[in-house]
């Protein structure tokens, strides 16, 4: 319980610091979201000073109030689950925008990250166990895909599989002309079909890192004395690989996987930009271009909570896998 209490206290402080930065960073950026919305309204008629002040209050950008008061109002709104109104998608609230885009990102980037992790760790375990085999020699090929700039790899695959051979669609999240959004077979199959090419790109660009990391940790772990002892006892090689070697070798990969899962909700900005995918990354890009404080803060808040939550869960899981960490923490 002491270990858990220390971890919860640490992450509570980290959350407060992240919320404070989340409040300050957008306000230090050039531009003003109020000016963006006022310019849109001015196209339909004159905007009075009273209307402008009302917009400032609506967007939480009241320049007449001191910064500390804006900060307290910001924390009070968060406590009530009010993330404000989006300028980019006005008059939609931020929670609605995030709620509509988050499932797309989790479905694409989340599943791709899990597939890449499982595939990379599995192949890395076999490559480290059978050093010098064809699989071990294949590791540099996978790292080559990781060294290629992601947007360049995405554009190449998009050109080859989307334009030259026309295997997959060029953009979008589903077929907007023939399917309706809902839990029905045509829509689900369309989402899977449209998300296959972006998923392949994510897996190809990230599986090499998991594979080479796990392979190197397996080689290091296999030189430990307890592996030699297990072999001397006549334990089956498969059990040694899974229970003795892989279990200890994958500890660093678990930490990296937690961070990757935390950033899943932030989306892959480049992926969604290249493939015009309707996820959180696209919403964040639109928010930055429009100086949309509320939407940026809402997305950053979701990313922050996801990263901290994932790391907290992995810290607790770490203590179960390797009890020695409880005494070092």
Short-list 307, 325, 303, CA closest to 316? 325
What is the residue whose two structure tokens read 């939480």? 60
Alpha-carbon distance 184 to 213, whole Å?
40
What is the residue whose two structure tokens read 């306000």? 27
Length of the chain: 329
Listed range (82-91, 126-135, 158-167, 196-205) with the worst mean pLDDT: 82-91
Give the start-end residues of each E strand in the chain.
none
Examine the pLDDT at 303 and tell me if it is beyond 90.
no
What is the model's pLDDT at position 124?
Answer: 93
pLDDT tens track for 34-64: 776 677 767 777 777 777 777 676 666 666 6
Alpha-carbon distance 259 to 251, whole Å?
13
Alpha-carbon distance 281 to 287, whole Å?
10
pTM to 2 decimals?
Answer: 0.80
Preceding peptide of 238 cis, ω within 30°? no
């Amino acid at each position: 319980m002491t270990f858990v209490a220390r971890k919860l206290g640490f992450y509570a402080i980290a959350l407060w610091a992240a919320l404070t930065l989340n409040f300050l960073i957008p306000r230090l950026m050039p531009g003003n979201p109020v000016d963006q919305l006022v310019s849109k309204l001015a196209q339909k008629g004159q905007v009075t000073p009273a209307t402008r002040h009302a917009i400032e209050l609506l967007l939480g950008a009241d320049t007449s109030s001191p910064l500390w008061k804006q900060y307290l109002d910001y924390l009070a709104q968060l406590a009530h689950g009010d993330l404000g109104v989006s300028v980019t998608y006005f008059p939609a609230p931020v929670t609605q925008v995030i709620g509509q885009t988050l499932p797309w990102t989790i479905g694409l980037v989340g599943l791709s990250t899990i597939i890449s992790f499982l595939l990379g760790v599995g192949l890395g375990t076999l490559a480290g166990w059978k050093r010098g085999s064809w699989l071990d020699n294949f590791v540099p090929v996978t790292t080559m895909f990781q060294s290629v700039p992601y947007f360049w790899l995405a554009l190449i695959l998009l050109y080859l599989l989307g334009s030259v051979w026309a295997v997959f669609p060029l953009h979008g999240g589903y077929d907007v002309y023939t399917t309706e959004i809902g839990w029905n077979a045509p829509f689900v199959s369309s989402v899977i079909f449209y998300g296959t090419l972006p998923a392949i790109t994510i897996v190809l660009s990230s599986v090499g890192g998991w594979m080479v990391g796990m392979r190197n940790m397996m080689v290091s772990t296999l030189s430990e004395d307890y592996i030699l002892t297990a072999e001397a006892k006549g334990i089956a090689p498969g059990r040694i690989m899974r229970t003795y070697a892989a279990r200890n070798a994958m500890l660093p990969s678990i930490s990296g996987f937690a961070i990757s899962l935390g950033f899943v909700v932030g989306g892959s900005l480049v992926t969604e930009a290249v493939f015009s995918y309707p996820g959180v990354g696209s919403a964040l890009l639109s928010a930055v271009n429009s100086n949309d404080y509320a939407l940026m803060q809402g997305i950053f808040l979701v990313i922050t909570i996801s990263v901290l939550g994932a790391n907290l869960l992995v810290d607790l899981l770490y203590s179960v896998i390797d009890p020695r960490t409880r005494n070092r923490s």
